[in-house]
Amino acid sequence: MIFDVKRPIILNGIENVGLRGDFSDRAILVNLPTIKSKSRLDEKSIDAKFSELHPTILGGLCDAVSTALNNIGSVKLDVLPRMTDFALWITASEPAIGVRKLVKLYQENREEQSEIVLGASLVGSAIIEFMSDKTVWQGTLKHLLNELDNVVDAGRRREKSYPNDPTRLSNKIHRDLPQLRQLGLNITFEGHTRMGNCIKIEKTQDVNL
């Protein structure tokens, strides 16, 4: 059976739960402030506060949806980001929400997540370091793995997450592609040659991690 479902999912955790690139590229990261002891409430007080605010919250959501429905047909974006329909709808709802340039805030959130994901990725961070003094690099995956071996110290190369052959390297790069692209590195897999599978890395902007 095939189910067609559209529902947002909220994941909560102390650490970032979305360290896989393709997952984080479809998510919005929200860092909540620490609750100070004098601000803590028991469940009964929280329920009472929510009941008090519920009409205002629901009214605000209805206003946002109504405004978005009215404006969605005329919304135009210069660049369509990932989760395009989300970007169009939040832009259409801006007059009701009272915040402008929500897509810009969304893009900044994606960039923040890209830095987190690549900071946790041995391959992603190694590629950024390797390309720090280059604009373009082209070669085989085997050649690239040898180059990355010179960037990553021996101890980290022994970790399970570090690839030890071109195929595993390819898989790791594919996972990090959206984040590397977001931070200014365009990677193209150019197919198989007599020398092996070829790859091209181009820097499109200054990359900092």
CA dihedral over 160, 209, 175, 18, signed as positive or negative: positive
Q: What is the pLDDT of residue 131?
A: 92
Domain ranges of the chain: 21-30+44-117, 122-203
84-92 vs 43-71: helix axis angle to the nearest 10?
Answer: 90
Q: pTM, whole model, 2 decimals? A: 0.63
pLDDT of residue 199: 95
**Quick one: pLDDT at residue 178?**
82
**Residue ranges, the chain, pLDDT below 50:** 209
Contact 26, 114 (CB under 8 A): no
pLDDT of residue 83: 86
Which residues make beta-bridge pairs with 137? 201
In words, the CATH class of domain 122-203 is mainly alpha
